[in-house]
Amino acid sequence: MSFDVAAIREQFPILKRRIDGNPLIYLDNAATTQKPQCVIDALVDYYSTCNSNVHRGAHRLADEATGRFEAARDLVKDFINAPKREEVIWTTGTTEGINIVANGLSQLLSTGDEVIATGMEHHANLVTWQQACKVAGAILKIVPVTEDGELDQAAYDALLNERTKFVAFTHVSNALGTVNPIKEMTAKAKVFGAWVLVDGAQGAAHRKVDVQDIGCDFYVFSGHKIYAPMGVGVLWGRESLLATWPVWRTGGEMISTVTLQEATWNVLPYRFEAGTPNVGDVIAMGEAIRWLMALDHDGLEAHEKALLDRATQLAEAFEGLTIIGNAKEKIGVLSFVMDHGHPADIGFLLDRQGIAVRTGDHCAQPLMARFNVPGTARASFSVYNTLEEVDALFVALKKVRSMLA
Ligand code: PMP
């Protein structure tokens, strides 16, 4: 395979760690990915050589910081094939991006308007619309999830109508790994003129994102799930919408003119970037995107699929284990429950063997209720994981089961 996992692993210092004498096997990538040395270096270099505030300084350091900060915006534009760099808004992460859109939407909806979300959303892409609908007197409708963990497309078709003003769905389910047909779902919503937001938190690291091809109006994602630091993310939105969308936070940078009683708003992207931004992490996110875009993307997808296929095969043969989520198209996420032991116990006992997974409801309580489970244990794979690590997970699970039985 052209995809050199060993060379990739070399770039991640944390993968050399040992946990209680065991080599770290990091299978919690859906929660956050580890960071390659170049991203760490970009952060350290910014603070070591040109730390200063952007867009306002009359000095060399401010010029350099601004240059790096705005270059990162260009990288995001290329990464998601956005038509314009002004449409790329820096946020603190997916959650904030969704809240910016929802804050505006709640002011644009009228009583009786309809919003559609789905039964597989992360709470960030569900609770936020619940609140927006409550404020506006709008009605929230939910696309159900099938037994396999896919969105019920016939039910979605039936929910759409001329009252549908807004549709929000995830690119990829964090809890199940399901990859949704976002282009088709967007096209269906557009027949009724609805605005569409895609939650890309789990999509951006694993699938090529082309917002023009998808046809959506908003695409949001977090840096920390694409090899960048925490505390930084992106809201992409169409200029025609963002230029008039109600503003979010108010303060410095987002204004054009201010009198004692009134203010006018700055142009995009600054209109939505009030206050001092997270300059260092933005710059490091640019580096993460440069790094990710340099990888052979087909090789990446093939490698992650091989990891998922091996894990699924071993899971299906594992006595007492049930996979939750068997969608036809998935990223490398294996969510499961076992006949003995709560997911939290499984996670605890795996950690004792150096294996990091996530357990719990994955911020998707309605989805857990749909599958009648309190939560799941979730192994989520990334570019640097190996088939040997997948095998080691199942050797460790054997021990876990014997301890819990
Ligand atoms: N949506 C999905 C699908 C997610 O997986 C996550 C993070 N687990 C979020 C939204 C929220 O992302 P963040 O916490 O980075 O804002």
Ligand 1 atom at shortest distance from the alpha carbon of 94: 16
Structurally, how many domains does the chain consist of? 2
- Tell me if 220 sits within 8 A of 98, measured CB to CB: yes
Q: Is the CB of 118 under 6 A from ligand 1?
A: no
Final residue belonging to a domain, choices 236, 258, 293: 293
Does 268 share its domain with 327? no
pLDDT classification of 277: cutoffs 50, 70, 90: very high
Mean pLDDT over each residue of the chain, to the nearest integer? 97
Q: Is the pLDDT of residue 241 over 80?
A: yes
Which has the closest alpha carbon to 27: 351, 362, 402? 351
Residue percentage of the chain with pLDDT more than 90: 98
- Percentages of the chain per state (helix, strand, coil), in multiples of 5: 45, 20, 40
Q: Is residue 207 part of a domain?
A: yes
Q: pLDDT tens-digit profile of 113-165?
A: 999 999 999 999 999 999 999 999 999 999 999 999 999 999 999 999 999 99
63 CA → ligand 1 middle, Å? 33
Among 145, 171, 222, 367, name the best residue to mutate to test ligand 1's pocket (greatest count of ligand atoms within 8 A of Cβ): 222
Model confidence at 400: pLDDT above 50: yes
Per-residue tokens: 375: 């939560």
Among candidate residues 149, 168, 150, 171, the one with its CA nearest the CA of residue 159? 168
Question: What local confidence, expressed as pLDDT, does residue 385 receive?
Answer: 98
Residues 362-391 have pLDDT tens digits of 999 999 999 999 999 999 999 999 999 999
Residues 20 and 45 in one domain: no
50 is catalytic: no
- 243 and 316 fall within a common domain: no
Which residues lie below 8 Å from residue 374, measured CB to CB, with a gap of 6+?
342, 343, 361, 368
Same domain, 116 and 175: yes
Domain contains 334 = yes
Tell me whether residue 36 is in a domain.
no
Together in a domain, 9 and 115: no
Q: Which ligand 1 atom sits nearest the alpha carbon of residue 171?
A: 3
311/212 same-domain check: no
Contact between 347 and 377 under an 8 Å Cβ cutoff? The reply is yes
Atom 5 (ligand 1) nearest CA: 174
Out of 50, 133, 216, 363, the active site residue is 363
Per-residue pLDDT, averaged over 215-244, amounts to 98
- Whether 154 maps to a domain, the answer reads yes
- The predicted structure's pLDDT at residue 219: 99
Residue 336 is assigned to a structural domain of this protein: yes
Q: Does the global pTM surpass 0.95?
A: yes
Ligand 1 neighbour 199 (Cβ under 6 A): yes
In a domain, 35, yes or no: no
279 CB near ligand 1 (under 6 Å): no
What digits encode the pLDDT tens for the residues 317-370? 999 999 999 999 999 999 999 999 899 999 999 999 999 999 999 999 999 999
- Residue closest via CA to ligand 1's atom 14 equals 95
How do residues 287-313 score in pLDDT, each as one tens digit?
A: 999 999 999 999 999 999 999 999 999
- Residue 376, domain extent: 5-30+296-398
Q: Residue 300's domain is classified under what CATH number?
A: 3.90.1150.10
Q: Is residue 382 part of a domain?
A: yes
**60 in a structural domain:** yes
Pair (148, 107) in one structural domain: yes
Mean pLDDT of 250-261: 97
* 259 C-alpha to ligand 1 centroid (Å): 38
Judge if the beta carbon of residue 95 lies within 6 A of ligand 1. yes
Q: How far is the CA of 94 from the centre of ligand 1 (A)?
A: 6
Residue 92 alpha carbon, nearest atom of ligand 1: 16
The enclosing domain of 178 has a CATH number of 3.40.640.10
Same domain for 231 and 115, yes or no, is yes
Q: Is residue 272 scored above 80 in pLDDT? A: yes
Euclidean distance between CA atoms 184 and 134, whole angstroms: 28
Q: Is 222 in the pocket of ligand 1 (CB under 6 A)?
A: yes
Q: What is the Å distance from ligand 1's center to 121 Cα?
A: 10
Rounded-to-integer distance, Cα 317 and Cα 228, Å: 36
Which atom of ligand 1 is nearest the CA belonging to 170? 3
Residues 342, 277 share a domain: no
Distance 201 CA to ligand 1 centre (A): 5
288 and 311 part of one domain:
no
ipTM: 0.99
pLDDT at site 2: 62
- Tell me the best of 28, 90, 92, 95 to mutate to test the pocket of ligand 1, counting ligand atoms within 8 Å of each CB and taking the most: 95
What residue's CA is closest to ligand 1, atom 8? 31
Q: Is 202 in the pocket of ligand 1 (CB under 6 A)?
A: yes
Pocket test for ligand 1, best of 170, 174, 234, 285 (most atoms within 8 A of CB): 174
pLDDT of res. 176: 98
Q: Judge if the beta carbon of residue 122 lies within 6 A of ligand 1.
A: yes
CA of 233 to the centre of ligand 1 (A): 10
Q: Both 194 and 330 in a single domain?
A: no
Check whether 57 has a pLDDT greater than 90. no
pLDDT of residue 1: 45
Instruction: Name the domain boundary from 274, 293, 312.
Output: 293
Q: What is the pLDDT of residues 188-221, one digit of tens each?
A: 999 999 999 999 999 999 999 999 999 999 999 9
Give the model's pLDDT for residue 266.
97
Q: How far apart are CA 361 and CA 367, in angstroms?
A: 8
45-70: b or e for each residue (b if 16 or more CB lie within 10 Å)?
A: bbeeebebebbeeeeeebebbbebbb
Task: Indicate whether residue 106 lines ligand 1 (CB < 6 A).
Answer: no
Using a pLDDT cut of 70, give the percent of the chain over it: 100
Structural domain ending residue among the three candidates 293, 317, 345: 293
Q: Whose CA is nearest to atom 6 of ligand 1?
A: 201
Task: Examine the domain organization and report whether 15 and 82 are in the same domain.
Answer: no
Regarding the beta carbon of 124 and ligand 1, being less than 6 Å apart is answered: yes
